[in-house]
Amino acid sequence: MFAVGKSILEKARGGLGFQTSSCALSKGMTIQDIYTAAVANGSLREDATQVMALPQLERVRAALAEPVKKGGLFRKAAPPIVGLYMWGGVGRGKSMLMDLLYDAVDAPKQRSHFHAFMQMVHAEMAIARKDGVSDAIAPVAAKLASEVRFLAFDEMQITDITDAMIVGRLFEALFAAGVVIVTTSNRLPDDLYKNGLNRALFVPFIELIKERMVVYPLDSEIDYRQGRLAGTPTYFTPANAAACAQIDEVWAALTGGQDAPLTLTVKGRSVVIPRFHNGAGRVNFFALCGAFLGPADYLAVADALRVLVLEDIPQLSRQNFNEAKRFVTLIDALYEARVRLICSAAAIPEMLYVEGEGTFEFERTASRLREMQSDDWTAH
């Protein structure tokens, strides 16, 4: 990896979910070579849809391997390198493919989860405003462009009006500076910030994505993340040391032992997922349901995660009615977004809330908790 000094990316490394794969690369290997070698040694299972995407990854890698060709008095500058927007359902291998590309790129680079990247951008814009600049986006984009040539993002999603207004101008400046962007998303570009407030102002950014990035669908029929959970219990009761040990094993299988905090900003509030990696988050019940959070916060959590590990759900009653109400809202958000839930609880779903206001309504939550335990639930 290229060192870029004490950069804004270095300062944000922890919060950005910074990672590198342990894949060993050799000089001169193409993405196809790396993928084939991984299949041969058993670390990957060959997937026809993924194989079809490899030329797009190699196109980006090969272009970044070329020295930067700047324009001059008698020569034209090299045309800009077109980035890549890979979209498709969860667990289809998008992040794994981006890992292969990221490790193979020999240029100043950075990879992060998109939410964490935007968090860093907001922090840097706040610093710029303190310096009295009239346009806080410009210095942030200029600094990023001076430090990296390749940016890779996981899970591009726009749920916040402030982010929607910032991201278009930021990416336009990065593209103009020659920064190459590759991102994954569960949504088509046309579905980003769908039904959002003042969405018409966001539409030019969607057109910019289509102009400066190849939009590539990854439509594998196999959900590899679900495969890692197939046959594994996802609801552990009682919530004791044995349950914690089992959840530790599941978490290790999902993340490979890598995680970092993820902070989501929702209407000016911070919602922290203490442990996060590649779409999977792990948090204690009271951190989510004991805090003063509401539907918008839980929708943001469901939007940011594909798997939620929720630990230590207690027996609920009229004494903790507010926590129970928030738990119902959280489960509704996870259910509608088809997020896989892994949890430890004091009792089986039907016995979590048996007395107090709202017990009838909680029956639906118990039913959903049961349904969400099935191996094929997220495929429904």
Two structure tokens written together for 235: 């609801």
Planar angle of CA 141, 207, 84, nearest 5 degrees: 70
The answer on pLDDT for 172 being more than 80 is yes
Q: Which of 178, 193, 217 is the last residue of a domain?
A: 217
Token pair 């009006």 is found at 161
Q: Which of 198, 217, 236 is the last residue of a domain?
A: 217
What pLDDT, on a 0 to 100 scale, did the predictor assign at position 356? 75
Please check whether residues 178 and 193 belong to one and the same domain: yes
**Does the residue 3 lie in any domain?**
no
Please check whether residues 266 and 176 belong to one and the same domain: no
**Does the residue 1 lie in any domain?**
no
Domain count, the chain: 2
pTM value is 0.65
Please check whether residues 106 and 162 belong to one and the same domain: yes
Contact 334, 341 (CB under 8 A): yes
Please check whether residues 57 and 195 belong to one and the same domain: yes
- The domain containing residue 252 runs over which residues? 224-379
Please check whether residues 34 and 154 belong to one and the same domain: yes
Contact 146, 180 (CB under 8 A): no
Alpha helices in the chain (DSSP H): 8-11, 31-40, 48-65, 94-104, 114-130, 137-147, 161-176, 203-212, 224-229, 241-255, 285-289, 295-304, 321-336, 359-371
Residues 30-47, mean pLDDT to the nearest whole number = 89
Rounded to the nearest integer, the mean pLDDT of the chain is 83
Please check whether residues 266 and 328 belong to one and the same domain: yes
Which tens digit of pLDDT belongs to each residue from 48-72?
889 999 999 999 999 999 887 766 5
* Euclidean distance between CA atoms 352 and 344, whole angstroms: 12
The answer on pLDDT for 131 being more than 50 is yes
The answer on pLDDT for 25 being more than 80 is no
**Does the residue 103 lie in any domain?**
yes
Q: For the domain that residue 132 is a member of, what is the CATH number?
A: 3.40.50.300
The answer on pLDDT for 148 being more than 60 is yes
Contact 148, 184 (CB under 8 A): no
**Does the residue 368 lie in any domain?**
yes
Please check whether residues 104 and 31 belong to one and the same domain: yes
Question: Which residues have a Cβ under 8 Å from the Cβ of 262 and sit 6 or more positions away?
Answer: 15, 17, 113, 115, 116, 272, 273, 276, 281, 304
Torsion angle of C-alpha atoms 274, 358, 332, 376, degrees rounded to 10: 100
What pLDDT, on a 0 to 100 scale, did the predictor assign at position 119? 79
Q: How many helices (H) and strands (E) does the chain have?
A: 14, 11
Q: Which is higher by pLDDT, 41 or 229?
A: 41
**Does the residue 2 lie in any domain?**
no
Please check whether residues 27 and 99 belong to one and the same domain: yes
Please check whether residues 100 and 150 belong to one and the same domain: yes
Instruction: Give the closest residue to 147 by CA, choosing from 7, 243, 17, 324.
Output: 7
The answer on pLDDT for 7 being more than 50 is no
* Euclidean distance between CA atoms 101 and 62, whole angstroms: 10
Which of 5-14, 192-201, 305-314 has the least mean pLDDT?
5-14
The answer on pLDDT for 168 being more than 80 is yes
Q: What does each C-alpha distance from 298 to 178, 197, 303, 328 come to in angstroms?
A: 37, 18, 8, 10
* Euclidean distance between CA atoms 316 and 322, whole angstroms: 10
28-33, long-range: CB < 8 A, 24+ apart: 29/104, 30/58, 30/61, 30/62, 31/57, 31/58, 31/61, 31/100, 31/101, 31/104, 32/58
79: exposed, middle or buried (C-beta count within 10 Å: 0-12, 13-18, 19+)? exposed
Token pair 């290790």 is found at 252
**Does the residue 110 lie in any domain?**
yes
Q: Which of 217, 234, 267 is the last residue of a domain?
A: 217
Sign of the C-alpha dihedral computed for residues 37, 43, 45 and 48 taken in this order: negative
The answer on pLDDT for 268 being more than 80 is no
Residues 176-199, mean pLDDT to the nearest whole number = 88
Which tens digit of pLDDT belongs to each residue from 319-376?
888 899 999 999 998 988 888 899 999 999 999 988 878 787 788 899 989 988 886 6
Token pair 């922090």 is found at 123
**Does the residue 310 lie in any domain?**
yes
Q: For the domain that residue 315 is a member of, what is the CATH number?
A: 3.40.50
Please check whether residues 24 and 42 belong to one and the same domain: yes
Please check whether residues 261 and 373 belong to one and the same domain: yes
SS3 51: helix
**Does the residue 213 lie in any domain?**
yes
The answer on pLDDT for 76 being more than 70 is no
Which tens digit of pLDDT belongs to each residue from 227-249?
555 557 889 999 999 999 999 99
* Euclidean distance between CA atoms 4 and 179, whole angstroms: 15
Contact 287, 306 (CB under 8 A): no
Question: Which residues have a Cβ under 8 Å from the Cβ of 175 and sit 6 or more positions away?
Answer: 80, 181, 208, 212
What pLDDT, on a 0 to 100 scale, did the predictor assign at position 23? 41
Q: What does each C-alpha distance from 277 to 112, 248, 350 come to in angstroms?
A: 10, 14, 31
Contact 316, 352 (CB under 8 A): yes
Please check whether residues 195 and 233 belong to one and the same domain: no
